[in-house]
Protein backbone atom coordinates (compact mmCIF):
# COMPACT_ATOMS: atom_id res chain seq x y z
CA UNK A 1 0.00 0.00 0.00
CA UNK A 2 2.76 2.39 0.97
CA UNK A 3 4.70 1.57 -2.18
CA UNK A 4 1.60 2.19 -4.28
CA UNK A 5 1.05 5.58 -2.63
CA UNK A 6 4.64 6.50 -3.34
CA UNK A 7 4.17 5.64 -7.01
CA UNK A 8 0.96 7.68 -7.19
CA UNK A 9 2.60 10.61 -5.39
CA UNK A 10 5.65 10.45 -7.65
CA UNK A 11 3.44 10.35 -10.73
CA UNK A 12 1.47 13.40 -9.56
CA UNK A 13 4.62 15.36 -8.74
CA UNK A 14 6.19 14.43 -12.04
CA UNK A 15 3.06 15.43 -13.92
CA UNK A 16 2.94 18.74 -12.06
CA UNK A 17 6.58 19.50 -12.83
CA UNK A 18 6.17 18.67 -16.52
CA UNK A 19 2.98 20.75 -16.79
CA UNK A 20 4.59 23.67 -14.96
CA UNK A 21 7.67 23.65 -17.20
CA UNK A 22 5.59 23.31 -20.35
CA UNK A 23 3.23 26.16 -19.47
CA UNK A 24 6.10 28.32 -18.24
CA UNK A 25 7.66 27.96 -21.69
CA UNK A 26 4.37 28.26 -23.55
CA UNK A 27 2.00 30.27 -21.31
CA UNK A 28 -0.35 31.19 -24.14
CA UNK A 29 -1.69 27.66 -24.09
CA UNK A 30 -3.93 28.75 -21.21
CA UNK A 31 -3.40 32.54 -20.98
CA UNK A 32 -4.45 34.98 -23.68
CA UNK A 33 -1.65 37.44 -24.44
CA UNK A 34 -2.41 40.93 -23.13
CA UNK A 35 -2.97 43.39 -25.95
CA UNK A 36 -1.06 46.49 -24.89
CA UNK A 37 -1.19 49.21 -27.53
CA UNK A 38 2.40 50.38 -27.10
CA UNK A 39 5.92 49.10 -26.54
CA UNK A 40 8.44 51.26 -24.73
CA UNK A 41 12.20 50.70 -24.77
CA UNK A 42 13.02 54.25 -23.69
CA UNK A 43 11.30 55.74 -20.62
CA UNK A 44 12.15 59.18 -19.25
CA UNK A 45 12.13 59.19 -15.44
CA UNK A 46 10.41 62.38 -14.23
CA UNK A 47 10.81 63.56 -17.81
CA UNK A 48 14.59 63.18 -17.60
CA UNK A 49 15.70 64.63 -14.27
CA UNK A 50 19.36 64.61 -15.29
CA UNK A 51 18.82 66.85 -18.31
CA UNK A 52 15.97 69.15 -17.30
CA UNK A 53 14.04 70.28 -14.23
CA UNK A 54 12.19 67.15 -13.13
CA UNK A 55 8.47 66.67 -13.75
CA UNK A 56 8.08 69.94 -15.68
CA UNK A 57 6.44 70.57 -19.03
CA UNK A 58 9.83 71.60 -20.44
CA UNK A 59 11.38 68.30 -19.34
CA UNK A 60 8.54 66.31 -20.88
CA UNK A 61 8.69 68.26 -24.14
CA UNK A 62 12.44 67.86 -24.51
CA UNK A 63 12.28 64.16 -23.67
CA UNK A 64 9.67 63.64 -26.39
CA UNK A 65 11.78 65.65 -28.83
CA UNK A 66 14.73 63.41 -27.94
CA UNK A 67 12.64 60.41 -28.95
CA UNK A 68 11.50 58.90 -25.66
CA UNK A 69 8.77 56.26 -25.86
CA UNK A 70 7.19 57.02 -22.49
CA UNK A 71 7.06 59.72 -19.83
CA UNK A 72 7.18 58.69 -16.17
CA UNK A 73 5.74 61.09 -13.62
CA UNK A 74 4.27 61.35 -10.12
CA UNK A 75 1.04 62.95 -8.91
CA UNK A 76 -0.24 64.75 -5.83
CA UNK A 77 -3.34 66.76 -4.98
CA UNK A 78 -3.15 70.46 -4.09
CA UNK A 79 -5.25 72.12 -1.40
CA UNK A 80 -7.68 73.42 -4.01
CA UNK A 81 -8.06 70.00 -5.63
CA UNK A 82 -5.76 70.14 -8.65
CA UNK A 83 -3.76 67.10 -9.73
CA UNK A 84 -0.20 68.40 -9.85
CA UNK A 85 2.87 66.58 -11.15
CA UNK A 86 5.50 66.23 -8.43
CA UNK A 87 7.54 63.43 -6.92
CA UNK A 88 7.69 64.77 -3.38
CA UNK A 89 4.69 65.49 -1.20
CA UNK A 90 6.75 67.98 0.79
CA UNK A 91 8.28 70.86 -1.16
CA UNK A 92 11.45 71.33 0.87
CA UNK A 93 13.79 69.28 -1.33
CA UNK A 94 12.55 70.63 -4.64
CA UNK A 95 11.75 74.25 -3.77
CA UNK A 96 13.33 75.03 -0.40
CA UNK A 97 9.90 75.72 1.12
CA UNK A 98 8.93 73.40 3.97
CA UNK A 99 5.28 72.91 3.04
CA UNK A 100 3.19 69.98 1.82
CA UNK A 101 1.53 70.21 -1.59
CA UNK A 102 -1.78 69.30 0.02
CA UNK A 103 -1.54 72.45 2.16
CA UNK A 104 -1.15 74.95 -0.67
CA UNK A 105 -3.23 76.07 -3.67
CA UNK A 106 -1.87 75.38 -7.13
CA UNK A 107 -1.37 79.04 -8.04
CA UNK A 108 0.71 79.53 -4.89
CA UNK A 109 3.16 76.71 -5.51
CA UNK A 110 6.74 78.02 -5.46
CA UNK A 111 9.18 77.50 -8.30
CA UNK A 112 11.63 74.62 -8.31
CA UNK A 113 15.16 75.35 -7.12
CA UNK A 114 17.65 76.35 -9.77
CA UNK A 115 19.77 73.33 -8.76
CA UNK A 116 18.29 69.90 -8.04
CA UNK A 117 20.21 66.78 -6.90
CA UNK A 118 19.35 63.47 -8.55
CA UNK A 119 17.99 60.69 -6.36
CA UNK A 120 19.43 58.00 -8.64
CA UNK A 121 22.72 59.69 -9.46
CA UNK A 122 23.66 61.13 -6.06
CA UNK A 123 27.04 62.49 -7.21
CA UNK A 124 25.31 64.73 -9.77
CA UNK A 125 23.22 67.89 -9.38
CA UNK A 126 21.17 69.20 -12.27
CA UNK A 127 21.81 72.89 -12.86
CA UNK A 128 19.47 74.43 -15.41
CA UNK A 129 19.00 77.82 -16.97
CA UNK A 130 17.14 79.11 -13.94
CA UNK A 131 14.37 80.57 -16.11
CA UNK A 132 11.07 80.73 -14.24
CA UNK A 133 9.04 79.21 -17.07
CA UNK A 134 11.20 76.08 -16.84
CA UNK A 135 10.79 75.71 -13.07
CA UNK A 136 7.05 75.87 -12.60
CA UNK A 137 4.92 72.93 -11.49
CA UNK A 138 2.61 71.48 -14.12
CA UNK A 139 -0.88 70.00 -13.94
CA UNK A 140 -1.47 66.44 -15.10
CA UNK A 141 -4.17 67.86 -17.36
CA UNK A 142 -1.55 69.98 -19.15
CA UNK A 143 0.62 66.93 -19.73
CA UNK A 144 -2.29 64.98 -21.20
CA UNK A 145 -3.22 67.94 -23.39
CA UNK A 146 0.31 68.48 -24.71
CA UNK A 147 1.20 64.83 -25.30
CA UNK A 148 -2.00 63.07 -26.37
CA UNK A 149 -0.25 60.19 -28.16
CA UNK A 150 2.63 59.59 -25.74
CA UNK A 151 2.30 56.70 -23.24
CA UNK A 152 2.47 58.03 -19.69
CA UNK A 153 3.41 56.15 -16.54
CA UNK A 154 1.75 57.60 -13.43
CA UNK A 155 2.85 56.90 -9.87
CA UNK A 156 -0.03 57.73 -7.52
CA UNK A 157 2.11 58.93 -4.63
CA UNK A 158 -0.41 58.95 -1.76
CA UNK A 159 -3.31 56.77 -0.70
CA UNK A 160 -6.08 59.21 -1.54
CA UNK A 161 -9.44 58.17 -2.98
CA UNK A 162 -9.96 61.72 -4.27
CA UNK A 163 -6.60 61.78 -6.05
CA UNK A 164 -7.21 58.40 -7.67
CA UNK A 165 -10.69 59.43 -8.78
CA UNK A 166 -9.50 62.73 -10.25
CA UNK A 167 -6.63 61.08 -12.11
CA UNK A 168 -9.10 58.54 -13.46
CA UNK A 169 -11.46 61.30 -14.63
CA UNK A 170 -8.61 62.96 -16.52
CA UNK A 171 -7.56 59.66 -18.10
CA UNK A 172 -11.12 59.08 -19.30
CA UNK A 173 -11.56 62.71 -20.40
CA UNK A 174 -8.48 62.51 -22.60
CA UNK A 175 -9.29 58.94 -23.73
CA UNK A 176 -5.99 57.63 -22.43
CA UNK A 177 -7.01 54.32 -20.84
CA UNK A 178 -4.92 52.31 -23.30
CA UNK A 179 -1.93 54.67 -23.22
CA UNK A 180 -1.58 55.15 -19.47
CA UNK A 181 -0.05 52.97 -16.77
CA UNK A 182 -0.78 53.66 -13.11
CA UNK A 183 -0.37 52.30 -9.61
CA UNK A 184 2.09 52.44 -6.73
CA UNK A 185 4.35 50.27 -4.55
CA UNK A 186 1.45 50.29 -2.10
CA UNK A 187 -0.93 47.40 -2.67
CA UNK A 188 -3.80 49.42 -1.22
CA UNK A 189 -3.30 52.24 -3.74
CA UNK A 190 -2.90 49.88 -6.68
CA UNK A 191 -6.02 47.92 -5.76
CA UNK A 192 -8.01 51.15 -5.62
CA UNK A 193 -6.70 52.15 -9.05
CA UNK A 194 -7.80 48.84 -10.51
CA UNK A 195 -11.22 49.03 -8.85
CA UNK A 196 -11.86 52.57 -10.08
CA UNK A 197 -10.90 51.76 -13.68
CA UNK A 198 -9.75 48.25 -14.65
CA UNK A 199 -9.31 49.40 -18.27
CA UNK A 200 -6.13 51.33 -17.42
CA UNK A 201 -2.82 49.46 -17.58
CA UNK A 202 -1.75 48.44 -14.09
CA UNK A 203 1.55 48.24 -12.21
CA UNK A 204 2.54 45.43 -9.87
CA UNK A 205 2.55 46.63 -6.26
CA UNK A 206 5.41 45.53 -4.00
CA UNK A 207 3.14 42.95 -2.38
CA UNK A 208 2.24 41.57 -5.79
CA UNK A 209 5.92 41.38 -6.75
CA UNK A 210 6.45 39.16 -3.70
CA UNK A 211 3.47 37.03 -4.77
CA UNK A 212 4.96 36.82 -8.25
CA UNK A 213 8.22 35.46 -6.85
CA UNK A 214 6.43 32.92 -4.65
CA UNK A 215 4.50 31.70 -7.69
CA UNK A 216 7.70 31.57 -9.74
CA UNK A 217 9.70 29.49 -7.27
CA UNK A 218 6.86 27.11 -6.45
CA UNK A 219 6.21 26.46 -10.12
CA UNK A 220 2.68 27.85 -9.84
CA UNK A 221 3.18 30.99 -11.93
CA UNK A 222 2.16 29.41 -15.27
CA UNK A 223 -1.22 28.40 -13.83
CA UNK A 224 -2.23 31.80 -12.37
CA UNK A 225 -3.86 34.70 -14.23
CA UNK A 226 -2.29 38.14 -13.69
CA UNK A 227 -4.35 41.31 -13.87
CA UNK A 228 -1.27 43.55 -13.96
CA UNK A 229 0.22 44.67 -17.28
CA UNK A 230 3.52 46.25 -16.16
CA UNK A 231 6.26 45.05 -13.83
CA UNK A 232 8.50 47.94 -12.77
CA UNK A 233 11.43 46.97 -10.57
CA UNK A 234 14.88 48.31 -9.85
CA UNK A 235 18.07 46.58 -10.91
CA UNK A 236 19.62 45.69 -7.52
CA UNK A 237 23.15 45.10 -8.79
CA UNK A 238 23.56 48.73 -9.83
CA UNK A 239 23.56 49.80 -6.20
CA UNK A 240 26.34 47.37 -5.42
CA UNK A 241 28.40 48.61 -8.37
CA UNK A 242 27.81 52.22 -7.36
CA UNK A 243 28.98 51.35 -3.89
CA UNK A 244 32.23 49.99 -5.31
CA UNK A 245 32.69 53.22 -7.21
CA UNK A 246 31.87 55.26 -4.12
CA UNK A 247 33.32 53.55 -1.00
CA UNK A 248 31.94 56.31 1.24
CA UNK A 249 28.36 55.33 0.39
CA UNK A 250 26.43 54.42 3.51
CA UNK A 251 25.60 50.74 2.96
CA UNK A 252 25.17 48.49 5.96
CA UNK A 253 26.23 44.82 5.65
CA UNK A 254 22.60 43.74 6.01
CA UNK A 255 21.64 46.14 3.24
CA UNK A 256 24.23 44.57 0.96
CA UNK A 257 22.94 41.06 1.75
CA UNK A 258 19.37 42.12 1.00
CA UNK A 259 20.36 43.73 -2.29
CA UNK A 260 22.29 40.64 -3.36
CA UNK A 261 19.35 38.42 -2.41
CA UNK A 262 16.91 40.58 -4.38
CA UNK A 263 19.25 40.54 -7.37
CA UNK A 264 19.49 36.74 -7.28
CA UNK A 265 15.72 36.24 -6.92
CA UNK A 266 14.35 38.97 -9.20
CA UNK A 267 16.76 39.30 -12.09
CA UNK A 268 15.78 36.19 -14.00
CA UNK A 269 15.73 36.27 -17.77
CA UNK A 270 13.37 33.31 -17.79
CA UNK A 271 10.87 35.31 -15.70
CA UNK A 272 11.02 38.32 -18.00
CA UNK A 273 10.63 36.08 -21.06
CA UNK A 274 7.61 34.34 -19.52
CA UNK A 275 5.96 37.68 -18.73
CA UNK A 276 6.73 38.97 -22.22
CA UNK A 277 4.97 35.97 -23.75
CA UNK A 278 1.93 36.83 -21.64
CA UNK A 279 2.05 40.40 -22.95
CA UNK A 280 3.31 41.91 -19.68
CA UNK A 281 5.97 44.61 -19.97
CA UNK A 282 8.99 44.74 -17.65
CA UNK A 283 10.74 48.05 -16.96
CA UNK A 284 13.94 48.40 -14.94
CA UNK A 285 14.70 51.66 -13.10
CA UNK A 286 16.44 54.04 -12.68
CA UNK A 287 19.43 53.30 -14.91
CA UNK A 288 21.83 56.05 -15.94
CA UNK A 289 24.93 54.38 -17.37
CA UNK A 290 25.64 52.35 -20.49
CA UNK A 291 26.66 49.18 -18.64
CA UNK A 292 23.35 49.32 -16.76
CA UNK A 293 21.38 49.80 -19.98
CA UNK A 294 23.19 46.82 -21.50
CA UNK A 295 22.56 44.54 -18.54
CA UNK A 296 18.84 45.42 -18.42
CA UNK A 297 18.24 44.67 -22.08
CA UNK A 298 20.31 41.47 -21.94
CA UNK A 299 18.11 40.31 -19.07
CA UNK A 300 15.14 40.71 -21.38
CA UNK A 301 13.61 43.89 -19.95
CA UNK A 302 11.04 45.48 -22.22
CA UNK A 303 12.28 48.97 -21.38
CA UNK A 304 14.65 51.06 -19.32
CA UNK A 305 13.78 54.08 -17.21
CA UNK A 306 16.47 56.77 -17.08
CA UNK A 307 17.24 60.29 -15.87
CA UNK A 308 19.19 60.89 -19.09
CA UNK A 309 16.96 60.57 -22.20
CA UNK A 310 19.72 61.66 -24.58
CA UNK A 311 22.20 59.15 -23.16
CA UNK A 312 19.78 56.23 -23.47
CA UNK A 313 18.73 57.34 -26.95
CA UNK A 314 22.37 57.34 -28.08
CA UNK A 315 22.92 53.91 -26.54
CA UNK A 316 19.96 52.46 -28.43
CA UNK A 317 21.13 54.08 -31.66
CA UNK A 318 24.64 52.70 -31.21
CA UNK A 319 23.32 49.26 -30.24
CA UNK A 320 20.48 48.43 -32.66
CA UNK A 321 20.29 44.87 -31.32
CA UNK A 322 18.53 46.28 -28.24
CA UNK A 323 15.96 48.36 -30.12
Domain ranges for the chain, please list them: 41-318
b/e burial code for range 95-130 (CB count within 10 A of at least 16 → b): beeeeebeebebeebebbbeebebebbeeeebebee
pLDDT at 12: 79
Render each residue's pLDDT in the chain as its tens digit; 323 residues: 577 777 766 677 788 899 999 999 999 999 999 999 999 999 999 999 999 999 999 999 999 999 999 999 999 999 999 999 999 999 999 999 999 999 999 999 999 999 999 998 888 999 999 999 999 999 999 999 999 999 999 999 999 999 999 999 999 999 999 999 999 999 999 999 999 999 999 999 999 999 999 999 999 999 999 999 999 998 887 776 665 555 545 444 556 777 788 888 899 999 999 999 999 999 999 999 999 999 999 999 999 999 999 999 999 999 999 98
Cβ atoms of 79 and 109 closer than 8 Å:
no
Q: What is the CATH number of domain 41-318?
A: 3.20.20.190
Strand partners, 153: 72, 181
- The conformation of residue 203, written as its DSSP 8-state character, comes to B
pLDDT at 110: 98
Region at 81 (left for phi over 0; alpha for psi -120 to 50; beta for the rest) = left
pLDDT at 13: 78
Cα(284)–Cα(45) distance, integer angstroms: 11
Strand partners, 133: none
Amino acid sequence: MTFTLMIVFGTLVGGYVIASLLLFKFPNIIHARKRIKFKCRHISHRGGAGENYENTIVAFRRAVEAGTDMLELDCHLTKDGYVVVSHDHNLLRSTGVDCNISQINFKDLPLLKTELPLDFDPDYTFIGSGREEERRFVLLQEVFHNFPQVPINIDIKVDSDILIQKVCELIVQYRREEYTVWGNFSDSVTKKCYKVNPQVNLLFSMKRVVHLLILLYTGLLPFFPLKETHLEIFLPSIYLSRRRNNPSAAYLPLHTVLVRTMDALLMKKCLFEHLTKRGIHTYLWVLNYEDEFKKAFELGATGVMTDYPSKLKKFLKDNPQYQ
